[in-house]
Amino acid sequence: ARGVAAAAEGKLGLRHSQQDYQKVYDAIAEKLEQEGYDDGSLAPVLVRLAWHSSGTYNKEDNTGGSNYATMRFKPEAEHGANNGLNIARDHMQKIKDAFPWISYGDLWTLGGVVAVQESGGPTVPWRPGRIDGFEHHVTPDGRLPDAAQAQDHLRFIFYRMGFNDQEIVALSGAHALGRCHTDRSGFEGPWTFSPVTFSNQYFTLLQDEPWQWRKWKGPAQYEDKKTKSLMMLPTDMALVKDKSFKKFVDIYAKDEDAFFKDFSKAFAKLLELGVPTSQFAGDAWKMGSE
C-alpha cells in the first residue's frame, strides 16, 4: 500500500521539491551542448518543443496547451508544424528515464526554460503541475502558426491563445535562437549571426538590415541583402510591415532589457496555457544553474 501511495504522490508531483526539479534542470543544462549538431547546441530545438507543446491552446474551449503533453501521440507528432521535434523529444526521453517521476509536460516546458536561460536569456519563472494525458486530448492540426502567412494570421493564431500584439512580438524574439531546416519546415537558415545566444539581435536585424526575397527553389523566404546568410520568414517580416507590431520591434531593438523582461513574462504565460491553476502547488520558481 505504501508503494501505491508513493506512486500516486509521485504522479501528482507532491513529493518533489524545488531541489528535485533543480536536479532535472541541471541534467538538461549539462547536455545542451552537442558538438556536431547544428550550431553546437540543442537549446533552440528544446525551445521549439516547449513552444509547440503549449501553443495548441484555445482559450475559447480551454483545449490544448502544455498540460497533457499530447505530442507524445502519433497524430500530433505527425502534424506538419512538428516536423523534426522528434529529435527534441527523443533527447528529453533520456532525461525522463533518469527522473521518471516528472511529467512530460513539466519536462518539456522546463526544457524550454533551461534552454532560454542557459543561452544567456532572461530568467523565466516556472512551476511543475502538468499531468500526462491521453490521445483523446490531442487537438486538431492547424493550431500553430503557418510561416507563409502574414499579420492577420499571426493575430488569429495568437489571440486564440490569449496573447496581445506586444506579447506576439516579444515571443517572436525567440527566433534569435536556432535555424530553419529544409528537411523539417522547408525553409533554410538562421535568423541571427549568433543562433545559440539569446539576445535582441532578431529585432535589430529586422529593423536595420535590408531584406529581399531569396531566389531559390524552396518556399518564399527573405534573405539579408548584405551577407545573404540570414533569413526571415514571411511571418517575421509581418512584424515590421504592421504598424502596431513594428512599435514593439523598435522598442525591443533599442532596449534589450525591455525585451528580456517582456519575453520572460510572455514565455512563462505560454508554458502554462491549458494547465488548471489547481494543479499548481504555489507560485512559480526562479530556477537556475549555480
Name the strand (E) or helix (H) holding 212: strand 211-213
Assess whether 52 carries a catalytic annotation: yes
SS3 265: helix
**Annotated catalytic residue: which of 52, 79, 91, 175?**
52
Among 71, 114, 161, 180, binds ligand CCH (CB under 6 A): 180
224 beta partners: 211
Yes or no: say if 66 and 271 are a contact pair by the CB < 8 Å rule. yes
Q: Can residue 96 be called a binding residue for ligand CCH (CB under 6 A)? A: no
What whole-number distance in Å separates Cα of residue 89 and Cα of residue 159? 27
Q: Can residue 79 be called a binding residue for ligand CCH (CB under 6 A)? A: no
Q: Can residue 192 be called a binding residue for ligand CCH (CB under 6 A)? A: no
- Report, in Å, the least distance between residue 78 CB and ligand CCH: 15
Give whichever of 126 and 187 is closer to ligand CCH, judged by the CB atom.
187
Q: Can residue 271 be called a binding residue for ligand CCH (CB under 6 A)? A: no
Q: Can residue 34 be called a binding residue for ligand CCH (CB under 6 A)? A: no
Q: Can residue 29 be called a binding residue for ligand CCH (CB under 6 A)? A: no
Yes or no: say if 198 and 177 are a contact pair by the CB < 8 Å rule. yes
- CA angle, corner 21, sides to 199 and 65, nearest 5? 65
What whole-number distance in Å separates Cα of residue 129 and Cα of residue 3? 21
Assess whether 136 carries a catalytic annotation: no
Q: Can residue 92 be called a binding residue for ligand CCH (CB under 6 A)? A: no
Sign (positive/negative) of CA torsion 68, 46, 283, 163? negative
Among 24, 71, 110, 171, binds ligand CCH (CB under 6 A): 171
What whole-number distance in Å separates Cα of residue 44 and Cα of residue 214? 24
102-161 positions binding ligand CCH, by CB under 6 A? 145, 147, 154
Catalytic residues: 52, 191
- Catalog residues that contact ligand CCH under the rule CB under 6 A: 44-45, 47-48, 51, 84, 145, 147, 154, 171-172, 174-175, 177-181, 184-185, 187, 233, 235, 267
